[in-house]
Amino acid sequence: MKKLAVRDLGRMPYGEALEIQDQANRSRYDEEIPDTLFFVEHPPVITLGRSTSEDDILISSEERSRLGVEVHRISRGGLATYHGPGQLVGYPIVHLYEQAVHIKRFITALERMFVDMLGELYNVDAHLDAENRGVWVGSRKITAVGIAVRNRVTMHGFAFNVTTDLSHFDWIIPCGIRDRGVTSLEECTGRTVNLADVRAQVTRAFRGTFGYTD
């Protein structure tokens, strides 16, 4: 029976959460902890994947300093991503060898999990895109996905826009895509959504998708 630990880090600066991920990745490889799903909400921050050009950041360094927006270059795939309040960020620390799953299948299963959850719980018609990673509602992305693997253990994860201030995505070219937009669960449903409720729903969906016990 596969066990999953779930930890809610609350609102935490990106750098602190990254240190926790790093330690958890080593601990999972050493079999000191089970697979773990971290949830966190970040203050406004821009992250840059391995192949990202800083040209994808549209807000000036002076404006970033004034607003307190950090920038981090990290080890995941993908391009520029924004994280901020109202966004449910999840970092799965999963041993792929023990899951007996390839990273591409892991990512696709994660994306399909959100498609199913959005349809079943919120009547939101989401889909995957053959050209671009993530989960889409029409031409607008609602969940970004970017995973890295170290020691056969995953890091980084997903960013689900729940009540996110979508105007902050104007600070970047999201995932390098110029001709598409972003959306949020609140915008799609037209009603107020509780982030804690969504976190519980994502936890249940993650356990079911990857076969963990409660």
Count other C-beta atoms under 10 Å from residue 40's C-beta: 23
Cβ neighbourhood burial of 28 (10 Å; 0-12, 13-18, 19+): buried
Q: Answer whether 144's CB lies under 8 Å from 110's CB.
A: no
- The active-site residue, picked from 175, 185, 188, 205, is 175
Active site residue 175: yes
Burial 110-131 (b: 16+ CB within 10 A, else e): bbebbbebbeeebebebeeeee
Distance between CA 25 and CA 33 in Å, rounded? 9
Contacts (Cβ under 8 Å, ≥6 apart) of 100: none
Distance between CA 11 and CA 137 in Å, rounded? 27
Count other C-beta atoms under 10 Å from residue 89's C-beta: 23
Catalogue the active-site residues. Answer: 175
